[in-house]
A = this chain, B = another copy of it.
């Protein structure tokens, strides 16, 4: 068994190292690669993903995993988790025939390209047939993987292990209904908020953002902040965890919150234990838990009155005019403005989850065949009318706004809303256990909170699934209560 464990961990290390190299190829492509470098880069990425796939599906490795799993009763706890999780991932992968995977990859790559061009031209007809094929492949995939209750679960569990639509849908519907109810009053409330305006040079914004992210615990000794069109976080090693943001010259707040969001992801990746690097014990639990960390730092902390006071004080050193122009209170209101809008990624904290609820409802119907792709735009627009009170007038700001479906990712969206709920549940416990949390945050000191998250969320790695983890932390099952309480409480005060 010792020899098998050695083989097991040596292969995991290889898979991890290949993955980090792939991450660098991807980061460089998005951040530093010259415009014409793409041709060779595609070949490099293809080779690395082939090597990763080979390493994951190596027959001897699969045998080792199966055999260790057979004898799992005798394993030490961390080995047990690692074997259990790898077995789960590999079993899932083994359900899909090689031909199916290759075909799926071709179709999704093609559809993604079509979408990129079609979106710019607002041309739904151009991409609809390919999306139809993707939905059909997703339904096949669900059958191949198998499920207990609902085909949607088979896809959802690729992002949220153990997730079930029978639990998630009622939860998110309740959340959606409650949020939709409070929006009209909030719209009224924010009519008179000051607008961000002025000229904020990128290099100063970058330094300002780094000042704030550093206060949250992000470190340039182990990371970088660069500008990209779409912000993202990526890990190139356990001590090389990079983030990007998008700067708008006339709006310094936008980049602050995308930086804090990505920094939240980065702090999670950096908080797993070095000794478990590259193994499930050193990996994030799920996308939902990952999103809980990004949205916790972005919203629960970053848009709190206390953090806004700290941010206001910090403004003095970077944008002194803005510091004089507005009060901390106004900055807090500016950072929390609620307006129903068509675009998910630009949505405020209250309306955001509604965008997700809409997508979940549509995905479910696509998967069961109740909704045909040709009817998707109407269904989309009707739900926006129902939940947000606004209606898209084109495709690109409607059904074609997100890349997810067009790149084959059905079942992914709910994790965004789950993140909000997990995060609020965690913070409620942290507030109780850290009596000086908010006075610390007001001074830009987040060390105790980060240590709390490390111990409770980051360091267990994949020991527990999301639902079990949150129960251990909070004593409760995943529910929308703490998030709704938090929203109602905050917006009552604003």
Contacts and interface: CB of A to CB of B under 8 A. Distances in A.
Interface string A1-31: 0000000000001100110110011001000
Interface string A34-50: 11110111011001100
A338 B212 CA distance: 51
Most buried by B among A20, A220, A224: A20
Contacts of A237: 37, 39-41, 44
Given A21-B21, A28-B28, A40 B236 contact: yes
Contact of A240 (B13, B21, B33, B224): B33
Contacts of A239: 34, 36-37, 39-40
A18 B36 CA distance: 19
A386 interface: no
**Secondary structure type dominating chain A contacts:** helix
Given A17-B47, A40-B20, A221 B34 contact: yes
Contacts of A377: none
Given A40-B20, A47-B21, A48-B21, A32 B224 contact: yes
A51 B32 CA distance: 25
A28 B24 contact: yes
A47 B14 contact: yes
Interface residues of A, number: 34
A403 B158 CA distance: 50
A47 B20 CA distance: 11
A314 interface: no
A278 to B, nearest CB: 9
A114 interface: no
A217 interface: no
A485 to B, nearest CB: 39
Give the oligomeric copy count: 2
Interface string A292-316: 0000000000000000000000000
A140 interface: no
Contacts of A36: 221-222, 239-240
A456 interface: no
A206 to B, nearest CB: 14
Interface in A182-226: 220-224
Given A14-B47, A40-B237, A25 B35 contact: no
Nearest to A31: B32
A238 interface: yes
Contacts of A17: 40, 43-44, 47
Most buried by B among A40, A43, A238: A40
Contacts of A236: 33, 37, 40-41
A17 B51 CA distance: 12
Contact of A37 (B14, B34, B222): B222
A34 B238 contact: no
A127 B48 CA distance: 39
B21 A25 contact: yes
A239 B237 CA distance: 27
Contact of A40 (B25, B35, B40, B240): B240
Contacts of A242: 34
Nearest to A22: B21
Most buried by B among A25, A37, A242: A37
A21 to B, nearest CB: 5
Contacts of A37: 222, 236-237, 239-240
Contacts of A28: 24, 28
Contacts of A33: 236, 240
Contacts of A221: 34-36
Across the A-B interface, the 6 shortest Cβ-Cβ residue pairs: A40-B237, A37-B240, A36-B239, A36-B222, A17-B47, A35-B221
Interface of A: 13-14, 17-18, 20-21, 24-25, 28, 32-37, 39-41, 43-44, 47-48, 51, 220-224, 236-240, 242
6 contacts: A14-B47, A24-B44, A34-B220, A34-B223, A34-B224, A36-B222
Given A20-B40, A34-B220, A44-B237, 9 more contacts: A21-B25, A21-B48, A34-B224, A34-B240, A34-B242, A37-B239, A39-B239, A41-B240, A51-B51
